[in-house]
Every structure is written in C-alpha cells, then in structure tokens.
Amino acid sequence: MKPYSEAVEAALDAVAEHLRHARTALFITGAGISADSGLPTYRGVGGLYDSEATEEGLRIEDALSGEVFAMRPDITWKYLIQIEENCRGAKPNAAHLAIAALDEHLDRVMVFTQNVDGLHRQAGSQEIVEIHGNLQELECTECSHEEFAADLSGREVPPLCPECGAVLRPRVVLFGEALPEEPLDRFIDAFQEGFDIVFTIGTSSIFPYITQPVVLAAGSGIPTVEINPSRTMLTDIVDYYLPLGAAEAMTAILERLALEQRSG
C-alpha cells in the first residue's frame, strides 16, 4: 500500500472499519470522480470552458440553459455535443469500480451523482440516481419519441425527431431548470430510510441538494467521508476528510477491506 501521512492513514483505516460493519452506504459523486477517466471537471459539464464566453458571446451556463435551448437549440446542442465528445470512449476508473464492488458486500449501495457521463452505470452499480440526467437518453420536445444514443457523432445540430421532426433533447437538467421530481423523491425516500455511512466524492459541494444530506448525516451521528483533493464547505463538517483523488482513495479503502474491484 502507498504510504500516507499519519492523519490520512488513520482516516483510511477508520473509514474502512466503518464500511466493514456497514450494511448500507450512500455515495454522492461529482465531476471529480471521473477525473481519472480523463474527463475534465468543470462543475460536471466537461471542463472545456476556461474562457469567460463562448463563441456566441454567451457564458457557458447561459449556452447550456433551458432558456437558450428554447430559443436557439442549435447553440445549446453545439456545446452538449462537445461535452458528449469528451465523455465518449471514457471508461470507469478504479473509484467507479470500487463503488460497484461494494454492491456485492453490502445490502444497499446508492449512488447519487451529478454526473451525466454514465460511468457509474458502465461500472455496474445497481442503484443510481442521476440527478442531472445523462447524455445518452434522448427525448422529443413535442411527441413521445425516445431513443438511446451511445454517441452523437454525425448527428445534425440540433438533432430532430424521426417521428415528428421536432427538436430532440437529452434527458439532462440544463442550467435554470428544476431538478426532476422522480429521481429526487427516490433519493429522499432512501435517505429517510437511512444509511450507515455517507461519502461525498469529487464534488465542489456548492448545491444545497448535495450538501444538505451530508450535513444531516453528520448531525445525526452517521459517519461521513469527503474524498476531494480540494477543501470544500463540507470539509470541516465531515468526520473524515481524505485529500486524495477518488480512484486513489477508493483503491486504498478497498485494499484495507481486502475486496476485489469489479472489472468494467
């Protein structure tokens, strides 16, 4: 095992011990968990946009907003396709695979993810709430047509419905849109049933629906863990802070549990 500071070693040992006795676990994940899969980490939408404005003179948050999609779907789709191109071909890394491996050893493992890259599904996790949706599921804005698109290469911009000719959109939450009720309700119901340990991995923790479950768990005496190379507003709230990359931290925890990662 890789040597760490005494504080990190102690935290890894303690987290592994809690997991050893847990029956249920919640993993709240953000863009950072996919960094080791080669995906950049711009708040979950691809890390492509370091400049202040897009080619159209819009902030990327505006180009990827529901308001702009309603008026200029070609602009929104242009950047959705760039994000999809970045995700295309990416494979689950050791962190995704470690979480999936825990499905075989715990009664319940829920993944509540902000990511739209589908890597938790590829890794084999069984119970996933994709709160921002995913880029692979498309639906018509006018009729009931739905389709699965493994990649968007070669599609017209914007893609049109083969049934009625209206614009298609992926099932993702664009900026300014409300979170989908069904997956949010599913997550709330599971959280109210309770988890034995709660992890937050690779998220900047700026949204209340990400931070509140961790704060509530910590306040209820449930062990809480943050895995993130950078400190966040949750760092001083959680029981254990691991200043490591997601893949490195989860590998170290599984090594302590002597569990094998599932192959992706």
**Confidence grade of residue 152 (pLDDT, cut at 50, 70, 90):** confident
Which pLDDT value is given to residue 52? 60
For the entire predicted model, the pTM comes to 0.88
Gap between the Cα atoms of 160 and 46, Å rounded: 24
Which pLDDT value is given to residue 49? 53
pLDDT at residue 45 is higher than 50? no
**Which CATH number does 60-88+137-172 carry?**
3.30.1600.10
Q: Which of 2-11, 21-30, 96-105, 155-164 has the lowest mean pLDDT?
A: 2-11
Which pLDDT value is given to residue 86? 78
* Structural domain spans, the chain: 6-39+92-132+178-257, 60-88+137-172
Gap between the Cα atoms of 233 and 226, Å rounded: 11
Q: pLDDT tens, 53-91?
A: 778 888 888 999 999 999 999 999 998 988 888 777 889
What is the CATH T-level fold of the domain 6-39+92-132+178-257, as seen in this structure?
Rossmann fold (3.40.50)
Tell me the average pLDDT of the chain: 89
Which pLDDT value is given to residue 1? 56
Residues labelled catalytic: 132
Which pLDDT value is given to residue 117? 87
3-state secondary structure of 201: strand
Closest CA to 180 of 112, 233, 121: 112
Contact 33, 246 (CB under 8 A): yes
pLDDT at residue 252 is higher than 90? yes
Gap between the Cα atoms of 160 and 256, Å rounded: 50
Give φ, ψ of 129 to 5 degrees. Answer: -110, 105
Residues linked to residue 199 through DSSP beta bridges, in sequence order: 27, 225
